[in-house]
Amino acid sequence: MAKPRKIKIFDTTLRDGEQSPGATLSHQEKIIIAKHLEKMNVDIIEAGFPIASEDDFKAVRDISKEIKKSEVAGLARVVEKDIDRLAKALEPAKKPRIHVVLATSPIHREFKLKKSPKEIIQMGVAGVKYASQFCKNIEFSPEDASRTETAFLYEVLEKTIEAGATTVNIPDTVGYAQPAEFGNLISGIIENVPNIEQATISVHCHNDLGLAVSNSLEAVRHGAGQVECAVNGIGERAGNAALEELAMALKTRSSYYSAETNLNLSEIYRVSQMVSSFTGLLVQRNKAVVGENAFAHESGIHQHGVLCKREAYEIMDPKMIGKESELVLGKHSGKHAVKSVLKEMGYGLKENQVEEITSRIKALADKQKRVFREDIVAIANDVTDQMREEDKRIVLEEVKIFTGNRVQPEAEVSLKIDGKQVVGKAKGVGPVDASAKAIASVISEKVSLKEYNLKAITGGTDALANVVIKVKNSRGKEFLAEAINEDVIMASVEAIINGYNKALFKEGKPK
């Protein structure tokens, strides 16, 4: 078996990525990202477009000072003022690369540049030659290459390589190409550009039709040696090929592509989160590789499969990118996943308790969609803290509350005490106070409510309410009790009844 080819990763997060509408990076943030890209072993970091602004110039210059292992590139049009500005910015770089771009497709030639094919070739050759006096590492990009006539594209590439280009980048600038078509374009370049072996073939694919990663991988399969991409796939319009998807596709299917990268994959998730945080561009939950749901399993069938053998439903090990698998407990979850998660948390539960917790998790998920870890802990604590049914002297039947901003709250509670039906009514300063007084009004034994604490377990108006109380019986013994419910009043009533049950159980049933 042939040794896999090394594919260079050219990251354009700081140049094309920052051109995403709504994405703005501060000077310091760009430097931090560049350092992490170097830590990830990115081969080339495109740091900016110096002629565009003073900020871009400073970013390229300061990143050039900081980066030692990766190449640092900047973008310029094939005009002397752009190249001069870029060369100046790259002066401190240990491994500089000048990247020059010139549109070649008919629509760009006619409407944007208003130049003939002959003039385009002259401009490209002149730009590459001019850049070569500052740097021997020159990349040339014929913009909109995928919509350029192939014969003309071959000629442009041949002439610019002859002029000194060491990398020729084939951009699918508007995401128009289809995978097989783009792969054939790369094969055609290899077969028809006489001096192509003197340069590395690179590709820069956009995601307008959702094919950026597919096109890039097909290009690799047909001989491309460099892929241009951005973290989280950010970039102009629908973005660029996503670095994390390309990296993991080449890792997971290395034998298929006979190719690999030098990337330190364990940094992927951390850098993804950093770029998302700095740019304000959130990663969609179902985004491949780095999305919140990428290694999350809610379906009971999937969860059981993963628990038996991770590879049953995960083709990648999340630890490889610095992430963890997650069993998401929700309405589709089964007791296998619930038991596993609770065991991980340190709970040793009986089968009937696991079934009750599973049932309550499903019920909660139907109401608030997402069940948080804190919710699971609260439900487990509530279930494990419950008394046996036969030991409960008080059982809640019904609660009715009448309240408003111009009336004094009133509560009516229906209870079974030692098997007898009783109803208590009371008014209070609020619905919880009224409920507590209504319960107390039908309890003959002396039990007093000493403390009441309420907290929301997770954020949002649909969060579980956790009520913890302290009660004291006639002998002065204190008992803690708690309850959780999506309804604050119900959580309060249930906690109070749990507390009374504990206190009265210790008193013993009346003779």
Q: Are residues 131 and 18 in the same domain?
A: yes
Single-letter residue type at 15: R
How far are the Cα atoms of 272, 293, 492 from residue 315, in angstroms, in the given order? 20, 14, 46
Which of 298, 364, 356, 285 has its CA nearest to residue 329?
A: 298
Beta strands 465-472; 448-456: pairing state: antiparallel
Residue 230 carries which DSSP code? B
- Which long-range contacts (C-beta less than 8 Å, at least 24 apart) are formed by 315-322? 315/252, 316/248, 316/251, 316/252, 316/289, 318/294, 319/266, 320/248, 320/251, 320/265, 320/266, 321/244, 321/248, 321/265, 321/266, 321/268, 321/269, 321/289, 321/290, 322/266, 322/267, 322/268, 322/269, 322/270
CA distance 481 to 500: 9
pLDDT at 1 (0 to 100)? 62
CATH code, domain carrying 201: 3.20.20.70
Residue 397's domain comprises 389-507
Terminal alpha carbon distance of the chain: 87
Q: Are residues 210 and 154 in the same domain?
A: yes
Q: Are residues 178 and 95 in the same domain?
A: yes
Q: Are residues 111 and 258 in the same domain?
A: yes
Does residue 133 fall inside a structural domain? yes
Does residue 375 fall inside a structural domain? yes
Q: Are 235 and 279 in contact (CB under 8 A)?
A: no
Tokens 């609660």 correspond to 399
Last residue of a domain, one of 247, 279, 311: 279
Whole-prediction pTM:
0.70
Q: Quick one: which H or E segment has residue 366?
A: helix 351-368
Q: Are residues 197 and 82 in the same domain?
A: yes
How far are the Cα atoms of 304, 371, 375, 497 from residue 362, in angstroms, in the given order? 16, 9, 12, 25
CATH code, domain carrying 427: 3.30.160.270
Does residue 88 fall inside a structural domain? yes
Residue 498, Cα to own-chain centre: how many angstroms?
41
CA distance 296 to 127: 50
Q: Are residues 176 and 105 in the same domain?
A: yes
Q: Are residues 401 and 380 in the same domain?
A: no
Does residue 102 fall inside a structural domain? yes
CA distance 140 to 416: 84
Q: Which residues pair with 399 in a beta bridge?
A: 413
Phi, psi of 462 (to 5 degrees): -100, 15
CA distance 257 to 242: 17
Does residue 284 fall inside a structural domain? no
pLDDT at 511 (0 to 100)? 36
Which of 82, 22, 9 has its CA nearest to residue 48?
A: 82
CA distance 376 to 124: 63
Phi, psi of 283 (to 5 degrees): -85, 125
Residue 303 carries which DSSP code? H
Q: Are residues 404 and 363 in the same domain?
A: no
Beta strands 407-417; 420-427: pairing state: antiparallel
CA distance 121 to 414: 90
Residue by residue, DSSP assigns 390-408 as GG-SEEEEEEEEEEETTEE
pLDDT at 356 (0 to 100)? 80
Phi, psi of 263 (to 5 degrees): -65, 145
pLDDT at 460 (0 to 100)? 64
Does residue 485 fall inside a structural domain? yes
CA distance 277 to 271: 10
Does residue 183 fall inside a structural domain? yes
Tokens 């694919």 correspond to 205
Q: Are residues 107 and 190 in the same domain?
A: yes
Q: Are residues 443 and 343 in the same domain?
A: no
Task: Determine if residue 162 is left, alpha or beta; phi over 0 gives left, psi from -120 to 50 gives alpha, anything else beta.
Answer: alpha
Count of structural domains within the chain? 3
Residuewise pLDDT in 10s, the chain (511 residues)? 678 999 999 999 999 999 888 788 899 999 999 999 999 999 999 999 999 999 999 999 999 999 999 999 999 999 999 999 999 999 999 999 999 999 999 999 999 999 999 999 999 999 999 999 999 999 999 999 999 999 999 999 999 999 999 999 999 999 999 999 999 999 999 999 999 999 999 999 999 999 999 999 999 999 999 999 999 999 999 999 999 999 999 999 999 999 999 999 999 999 999 999 889 898 998 899 998 776 664 555 555 554 566 666 566 887 888 876 555 555 566 666 677 767 765 666 778 888 887 887 777 776 665 666 656 666 776 676 565 666 688 999 999 999 999 999 999 999 999 889 999 999 999 999 999 999 999 987 788 888 888 876 666 666 778 788 888 887 788 887 788 887 889 989 988 998 888 887 755 554 3
Phi, psi of 184 (to 5 degrees): -65, -30
CA distance 103 to 144: 6
Does residue 85 fall inside a structural domain? yes
pLDDT at 399 (0 to 100)? 94
Phi, psi of 431 (to 5 degrees): -65, -35
Which of 477, 503, 490, 495 has its CA nearest to residue 381?
A: 495
Q: Are 410 and 431 in contact (CB under 8 A)?
A: no
CA angle 139, 34, 316 (to 5 degrees): 95
Q: Are residues 247 and 100 in the same domain?
A: yes
Q: Are residues 144 and 221 in the same domain?
A: yes
